[in-house]
Amino acid sequence: MTTVFITGASGYIGGDLLSVLVSKYPDLHYRLLVRSRDNGQKIKAQYPNVEIVHGGLDDSETLVAESARADIIIHTADAADHLGAAKAIAQGALEGHTEERPVYWLHTSGAGIFSFSDTENKVYGEKGEKIYDDVQDIHEIVSFPDHAFHRDVDKAVLEAGSVRPGVLKTAIVSPVTVYGRGRGPCSQRSRQIYELAKLTIQRQKVPIIGRGLSFATDIHIHDLTSLYVILFEKALTKQDDGLWGPEAYYLSENGEHCWGELARSIGQICVAEGFIPNAEKEAFGFEDARKWAGYEAASWGLNVRCRASRARQLLGWQPSAPSLESELRDIVKGEYRRLQEGESSA
């Protein structure tokens, strides 16, 4: 029986993916790394046949052991920024497998890596012209400077996959700004756009970083999950066909938004719904935004512009979920309800 090791099943992305995999492939052996016992119980209640492995990303021995026994590894729990976890997974994967029994690793990065030029030059709220295509620009993408967001972990994954490519087959999935209600057992809410709506309601003003001209690519959670599932199915049937390895960097997108225009749209919805009196703008500096709304707010002033050609061309992936524009009112109303309820569902 195929063993699937998943980190982040209690999270937004990992939870949504788990819900689809268990529904579509109920007979596989799922082992889930979960830090919180409460979340472990929630997952087990919904999916009684999965196995919970209690631990966190700092538990290197656990990660090594689980990666050594798994046939497919799906890493979504803070995967883009925890270097130690990536190294432990790589160690276990390489030690526990052979060319006769290879292991497939679906690693989750983050599209924040594409904003390195803005952060390097301390330019916030201005439009960036560069749009990265994961086929045409793949050599640049896998060679970003070491100081770029997530680059240290991306680099570790790519290097691990090159040690014994017939044994460890890697693919990096890089989500962009994700929206939509998740289907997982613990977390159904994304962050960046939701925090923007929340702050608008809290401060009764529309927050704009700089001139509000930066752009970001976006994707519905269901479309992101469908990309993971296609890659998972390729791993399940051991299909290679150039899908894994040093150029297996898969972006996911179905459009883009201007952060300033999005903030103004949120403000207009808030006014129409009676959540704020008017759509007065409030100018924010980069650090001010981070102070008020955490690191998610930093993305409101940065450019992350990408095109997901690889998944479309090699996997036949076609996003079909509702657009951000069509979901935006529900997102705003949902944030208002959360605030009214004292964020008890956070």
Percent of the chain having pLDDT more than 90?
A: 93
pLDDT recorded at residue 345: 47
Dihedral angle, C-alpha 108, 167, 6, 195, nearest 10 °: 0
180: left (phi over 0), alpha (psi -120 to 50) or beta: left
The model's pTM is 0.96
* pLDDT (average), residues 165-194: 97
Q: Encode pLDDT of 294-345 as tens digits.
A: 877 889 999 999 999 999 999 999 999 999 999 999 999 999 999 999 854 4
Q: Encode pLDDT of 37-68 as tens digits.
A: 999 999 999 999 999 999 999 999 999 999 99
Q: Which residues have a Cβ under 8 Å from the Cβ of 210 and sit 6 or more positions away?
A: 124, 125, 126, 283, 285, 286, 301
From the list 24, 169, 61, the residue with the least C-alpha distance to 105 is 169
Query: What is the CATH code for 3-119+132-180+219-251?
Result: 3.40.50.720
Structure tokens at 118: 């803005």
Q: Encode pLDDT of 119-168 as tens digits.
A: 999 999 999 999 999 999 999 999 999 999 899 999 999 999 999 999 99
Domain with CATH 3.90.25 in the chain: 192-216+256-340
- For residue 290, name the pLDDT band (cuts at 50, 70, 90): confident
Q: Encode pLDDT of 221-250 as tens digits.
A: 999 999 999 999 999 999 998 999 999 999
For residues 160 and 223, give the distance between their C-alpha atoms in angstroms, rounded to a whole number.
28
- For residue 288, name the pLDDT band (cuts at 50, 70, 90): confident
Q: Which residue has the tokens 């570790």?
A: 156
Report the range of poorest mean pLDDT among 145-154, 179-188, 261-270, 336-345.
Answer: 336-345
HEC-encoded secondary structure of 261-311:
HHHHHHHHHHHHHCCCCCCCEEEECHHHHHHHHCHHHHHHHCCECEECHHH
Q: Encode pLDDT of 77-129 as tens digits.
A: 999 999 999 999 999 999 999 999 999 999 999 999 999 999 999 999 999 99
Helices (H), 96-185: 116-121, 138-141, 151-163
Helices (H), the chain: 12-24, 37-46, 60-69, 83-95, 116-121, 138-141, 151-163, 192-203, 221-236, 259-273, 286-293, 309-310, 324-340
Class of domain 192-216+256-340: alpha beta
Q: Encode pLDDT of 4-40 as tens digits.
A: 999 999 999 999 999 999 999 999 999 999 999 999 9
From the list 115, 191, 111, the residue with the least C-alpha distance to 154 is 111
Domain with CATH 3.40.50.720 in the chain: 3-119+132-180+219-251
Task: Check the CA dihedral 289-147-152-118 and report its sign.
Answer: positive
From the list 185, 131, 188, the residue with the least C-alpha distance to 334 is 188
CB distance 74 to 227 below 8 Å: no
pLDDT recorded at residue 343: 57
CB distance 50 to 30 below 8 Å: yes
